[in-house]
Amino acid sequence: MIKITFPDGNVKEFEQGISAYEIAMSISPRLAADVIVATVNGEIYDLDRKINADAQVKLHKWDDIEAKKTFWHSSSHLMAEALEALYPGIKFGIGPAIDNGFYYDIDFGEKTITEADLAKVENKMLELARQKETFTRIDVPKAEAMERFSAKGETYKCELISNLEDGTISFYTNGNFTDLCRGPDLRDSSMIKAI
């Protein structure tokens, strides 16, 4: 058993390997539906990441900046998936959350998109969001990460990987899109209802 300490000082015991989502469910299904991300011992965790030792845990809902940034970050992944489906062969840089939303650096090569294309991108994003795609984290050795993105011709991602320390690199996959990402991300895309 591990001890989880909440912001109000309450301590509860749980089985080792419990997730923040499962902790929220043990309190209330409504809370679990509203929680977006958690802080575990000062580090932001996505809701399905396992907690294996005693920890201080704070569950974040939309009103918290940690939740908003996670939501926007996952939205950038969804946008990248939509763009890759609509414009095969494009290359991706970074796609972070910012103070009031998100963006993604994208190299369209010879292709150009116009204001008229934005509705098509938005519709594709909403279609993908409705599919309730899970955001799944995997950790791989740096060499494997480099190999994977080299095989896709993702030169910008390879440049980012080469600047990371040796060790494990995390990816997140949603639907047909896999991105170099330290997370956290949403549990699934169904929370994204407006673009």
Q: What does the alpha-carbon distance between residue 68 and residue 43 come to, in Å, rounded to a whole number?
A: 16
Digit-coded pLDDT (tens) for 18-72: 999 999 999 999 999 999 999 999 999 999 999 999 999 999 999 999 999 999 9
**pLDDT beyond 80 at 195:** no
Can you identify the CATH homologous superfamily of domain 2-61? Beta-grasp domain (3.10.20.30)
Structural domain spans, the chain = 2-61, 66-191
Digit-coded pLDDT (tens) for 143-175: 999 999 999 899 999 999 999 888 899 999 999
**Other Cβ atoms within 10 Å of 176 Cβ, number:** 10
Can you identify the CATH homologous superfamily of domain 66-191? Threonyl-trna Synthetase; Chain A, domain 2 (3.30.980.10)
Mean pLDDT value of segment 117-131: 94
The pLDDT of residue 71: 94
The pLDDT of residue 95: 86
The residues, any chain, with a CB within 8 Å of residue 161's CB and separated by 6 or more, are 142, 145, 146, 149, 169, 180
